[in-house]
């Protein structure tokens, strides 16, 4: 209530002060505001002009080809091939998407980077559905009085929420088997949050190397999930963020054992940028390094114990004793 009265008092005083100003003083105030608006407007016009100047060739080409090229049947074929839709003559509207598709295709051909591509609306929707379906398979299984198994199928907002909601259950046994077999990875931030549950506060989880900077992920929690023994199951399909979690726990803790086969070896990361009309572009923008400073791209993470038999879960349980 006192704050409200103080505010009303200040506003009333401001109005009175304004009434006390002479016509010349008011005019001076308005001129000052007018000049400020002009400066902002001039800055906006200058930036717009600079943008148009720097992008003149592209914009000119875009208008020229989409509006004047005579062989429209060729354009139809290219758009259909690259975007998997009939644009119905809307060449200009979909031109940017076409350029992105062609560019990312060339990147994949030259570099072999299969992770850089354009999502069409249908493929983006399907990708999100698959992510949700994979996450729904994540579960916790109580194996006996002293061990539980966490089957973590991907790193997404769904699995992050699952871990958060089941923390007490994860704390119910002194040992854990984390099953990351066939986990292809996912969201780096979610991986860091989940890994933080197992690590002391400020422990290094990973270092992401961008073109312009390095970013260090550190544990933001104080190890709410502590275990006498942690066994991680891995295979050739354990990739990306799952490999990152394996390295984070292995490099920081002395009670972690890796069982299975060598992991996939994906030491790079991507960002998906949403575009208009349901499109999105995904591109490789970083290399990541383990807490020990190793980039696993193309090499993967070797297990402590190589094991390929179907009874690997029982084998891991026997290792705990």
Residue 311's CATH number = 3.90.226.10
Mean pLDDT of the chain: 93
Mean pLDDT score, 39-52 = 93
Categorize the per-residue pLDDT at 25 as very low, low, confident or very high, splitting at 50, 70 and 90. confident
Instruction: Work out the average pLDDT over 241-245.
Output: 98
Residue 119 lies in a domain: no
Please determine, for residue 154, whether its predicted confidence score (pLDDT) is greater than 80.
yes
- Report yes or no: 205 and 219 within 8 Å, Cβ to Cβ: yes
Number of domains in the chain: 2
Whether 147 and 100 share a structural domain: no
- 163 with 287, same domain: the answer is yes
Q: Tell me, yes or no, whether 217 lies in a domain.
A: yes
Q: Which domain holds residue 68?
A: 56-112
- Whether residues 82 and 141 share a domain: the answer is no
In a domain, 282, yes or no: yes
Question: What percentage of the chain exceeds 70 in pLDDT?
Answer: 93
Q: Tokens standing for 38?
A: 């002009």
Within-domain flag for 2 = no
For residue 48, the tally of other CB atoms under 10 A from its CB is 10
Same domain, residue pair 75 and 166: no
**pLDDT of the residue at 303:** 98
* Statement: residue 2 has pLDDT above 80: no
Query: Where do the H-state alpha helices sit in 145-254?
Result: 157-165, 167-170, 188-196, 241-252
Same domain membership, residue 204 and residue 303:
yes
Q: What is the pLDDT of residues 63-80, one digit of tens each?
A: 999 999 999 999 999 999
Rounded to 5°, angle at Cα 290 from 288 and 294? 85
So what's the pLDDT on residue 5? 53
Let me know if residue 163 belongs to a domain.
yes
| Beta pairing partners, 217 | 206
Q: What is the pLDDT, as a whole number, of residue 10?
A: 55
pLDDT tens-digit map of 76-112: 999 999 999 999 999 999 999 999 999 999 999 997 8
Q: Is the pTM of this model over 0.85?
A: no
- Looking at residue 6, what is its pLDDT? 57
In this structure, the answer to whether residues 283 and 136 fall within a common structural domain is yes
What is the average pLDDT across 116-143?
96
Q: Is residue 37 included in any domain, yes or no?
A: no
pLDDT at position 14 over 80: no
What is the average pLDDT across 159-184? Answer: 97
**What burial letters (b/e) apply to 236-262, b meaning 16+ CB within 10 Å?**
eebbbbbbbbbbbbbbbbeebbbbbbb
Which of the four pLDDT bands, split at 50, 70 and 90, describes residue 286? very high
């Amino acid at each position: 209530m006192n704050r409200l009265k103080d505010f009303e008092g200040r506003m009333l005083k401001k109005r009175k002060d304004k009434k006390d100003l002479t016509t010349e003083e008011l005019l001076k105030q308005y001129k000052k505001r007018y000049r400020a608006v002009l400066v902002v407007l001039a800055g906006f016009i200058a930036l717009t002009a600079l943008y148009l100047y720097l992008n003149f060739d592209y914009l000119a080409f875009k208008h020229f080809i989409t509006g004047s090229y005579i062989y429209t049947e060729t354009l139809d074929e290219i758009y259909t091939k690259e975007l998997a839709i009939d644009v119905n003559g809307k060449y200009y509207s979909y031109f940017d998407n076409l350029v992105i598709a062609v560019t990312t295709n060339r990147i994949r051909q030259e570099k072999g980077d299969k992770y850089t591509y354009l999502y069409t609306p249908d493929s983006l929707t399907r990708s999100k559905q698959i992510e949700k379906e994979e996450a729904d398979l994540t579960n916790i299984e109580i194996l006996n009085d002293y061990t539980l198994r966490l089957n973590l199928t991907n790193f997404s907002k769904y699995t992050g929420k699952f871990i958060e909601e089941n923390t007490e259950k994860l704390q119910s046994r002194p040992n854990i088997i984390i099953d990351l077999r066939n986990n292809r990875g996912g969201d780096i931030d979610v991986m860091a949050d989940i890994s933080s549950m197992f690590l002391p506060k400020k422990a290094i989880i990973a270092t992401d190397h961008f073109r312009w900077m390095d970013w260090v992920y550190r544990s933001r929690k104080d190890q709410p999930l502590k275990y006498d023994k942690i066994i991680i199951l891995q295979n050739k399909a354990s990739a990306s963020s799952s490999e990152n979690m394996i390295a984070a726990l292995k490099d920081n803790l002395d009670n972690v054992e890796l069982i299975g086969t060598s992991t996939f070896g994906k030491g790079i990361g991507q960002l998906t940028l949403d575009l208009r009309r349901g499109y999105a572009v995904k591109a490789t923008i970083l290399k990541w390094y383990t807490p020990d400073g190793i980039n696993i791209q193309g090499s993967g993470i070797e297990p402590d114990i190589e094991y390929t038999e179907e009874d690997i879960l029982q084998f891991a349980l026997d290792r705990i004793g």
